Structure 1
Amino acid sequence: MKVRFVTCFSTLVFVSFFLLTVSQSASGQATKPKFRVVAIAEKGGGVHAPFVAEAKKWLAQVASENNFAIDYIENTEPINAAFLANYQLVIQLNYPPYMWTDTAKEAFRNYIVEGKGGGWVGFHHASLLGEFDGYAMWPWFSEFMGGIRYKNYIATFAKATVHVEAQNHPCMKDVPTAFEVEKEEWYTYDKSPRPNVKVLATVDESTYEPDSNLKMGGDHPVIWSNEHMKARNVYIFMGHHPDLFKNDAFVTIFRNAIFWGAGQTKQ
């Protein structure tokens, strides 16, 4: 009887250890991220700090729900080919196309042109193309953005209606054909990027509220993708006000862009 008890106890210990090992193994597999994202946002953020803060909260939730990892950098110093090789997606959350190191420029250009590493989602400041703060314009980035140069913006903000053109594009999945943005600066450029990119959505300048004389004459793209590049990429102009994360259309586009850009299927 005593021998039987010892044997049963030993068996129980072995089974418990086995189940614990399996459980730990499964847990380890579950926590391994499906893909990795790096987002760049200027330190401090200036007037865009509230948008970035809200974006980080939203991204943390989406990453947790969908098991991907996200890291943040505040300048381009860490960027080189080896650094970018760790990531399936780069989000230019709040960083202009100047102040980049030469090494970062070359690594990023190869990342986008060759399309071997992953994708890119850019917001707002990414189309701030020109000579700023003593920095020359980055010609390749201007080409990437459709050959445009920044001209002006509505400093007092305006409400407007955005119309989706490319309803079949993955970034526009489940997005209504038209939606309102309550408060945005609506950059103007020296020309429309349309001849050089695939336009996904435009802003209807006739719906500006209050009205503004800062218009592009009707064809005003605000979301587009440069299909001449091998990497999946999408530029989303909106990105100034934190209330955008209360806009269902905006967060749907952002979420779609993450998974499409990273070459993943949304859970």
Structure 2
Amino acid sequence: MKNFRIIICLLITTCFFQGECLAQKPKKSKFKALVLYENGGHHLPFTKAAKPWLNKLAIDSSFTIDYIENTKTINDALLKKYQVFIQLDYPPYTWSAESMKAFEKYMNNGKGGWIGLHHATLLGEFDGYPMWQWFSDFMGGIRFVDYIPTFAKAQVNLEDKSHPVLKGVPSIFFIEKEEWYVYDKSPRQNVHVLASVDESTYEPVSKIKMGDHPVIWTNEHFATRNVYIFMGHAPELFQNEAYTTLLRNSIFWAAGKK
């Protein structure tokens, strides 16, 4: 009887420790995301708000994030490691020939996903760099022309409510503070527009307009899932539920999880 009790105790102890080990075993990462961000300038407050939000999302949803603050390390070997590449307020210039070539290849191979925010459409000649024509074509053949430096509140209207990145996003929502870039033309003919800004709702009123003004779109001519979201300047965006829902959806859709 005594031996029987000892065996029972050993079994209970073994089960307890095995259960504890299983509980402590980390969850397997669903996918890996690479975030390219600006670590300075007037977009720094947005970056500082975005990183903790992204980190929490990654922990809650069991995926991992790595951050880089310039394009020096971008090459084929690096991009192969990630299922999602988030271009967080980083412009399409200062890239090396190798990093540009690697990114173009990544967008054509269909093995990952891309999300670009705000500064990703600052297309033109800046700081002595020529315009990256491939990236301009990728964004619908546009070139940056102007913006509202004093900022404006505006209404965004969804155009394709059935798209996965817009699930749970209201048909109409407001952005309290944004620069609203103006391009030399609308990208609509070359991309699939998901949402546009209603320029008649600008507060305060601004003469800096472009008419047909898409602000969220995807270029379906590429094998890699991609979505561009213009809004991405003010840190207050992470208090806007419509915006955070859109960004969350975009990450999982780009990763092929939605």
TM-score, normalised relative to structure 2: 0.95
Q: Secondary structure at the match of 2:217?
A: strand
Report how far residue 96 of structure 1 moved. 0.3
CA distance in 2, matches of 1:209, 1:146: 28
Report how far residue 71 of structure 1 moved. 1.0
- Corresponding residue for residue 56 of structure 2: 61
CA distance in 1, matches of 2:104, 2:57: 28
CA contact (8 A) 2:166 2:249 kept: yes
CA distance in 1, matches of 2:49, 2:113: 22
Letter in 2 for 1:199: V
| Aligned counterparts, 1:89-128, within 5 A | 89-116=84-111, 118-128=112-122
Report how far residue 8 of structure 1 moved. 3.8
Report how far residue 59 of structure 1 moved. 0.8
Letter in 1 for 2:160: A
State how many pairs are aligned.
258
Aligned-pair identity in percent equals: 56
Which segments of 5 or more consecutive residues in structure 1 lack a partner in the other structure? none
- Corresponding residue for residue 180 of structure 1: 174
Report how far residue 26 of structure 1 moved. 5.6
Answering whether residue 178 of structure 2 is matched by residue 197 of structure 1, we say no
CA distance in 2, matches of 1:64, 1:136: 39
Letter in 1 for 2:6: F
CA contact (8 A) 2:39 2:47 kept: no
Please, which of 142, 145, 149 is the counterpart of residue 151 of structure 1? Answer: 145
Answering whether residue 214 of structure 2 is matched by residue 221 of structure 1, we say yes
- Corresponding residue for residue 33 of structure 2: 37
TM-score, normalised relative to structure 1: 0.92
CA distance in 1, matches of 2:101, 2:160: 31
CA distance in 1, matches of 2:15, 2:101: 50
Report how far residue 43 of structure 1 moved. 2.2
- Corresponding residue for residue 17 of structure 1: 14
Report how far residue 104 of structure 1 moved. 1.2
Which segments of 5 or more consecutive residues in structure 2 lack a partner in the other structure? none
CA contact (8 A) 2:154 2:176 kept: yes
CA RMSD in angstroms, aligned pairs only: 1.5
- Corresponding residue for residue 165 of structure 1: 159
CA distance in 1, matches of 2:120, 2:136: 10
CA distance in 2, matches of 1:179, 1:82: 40
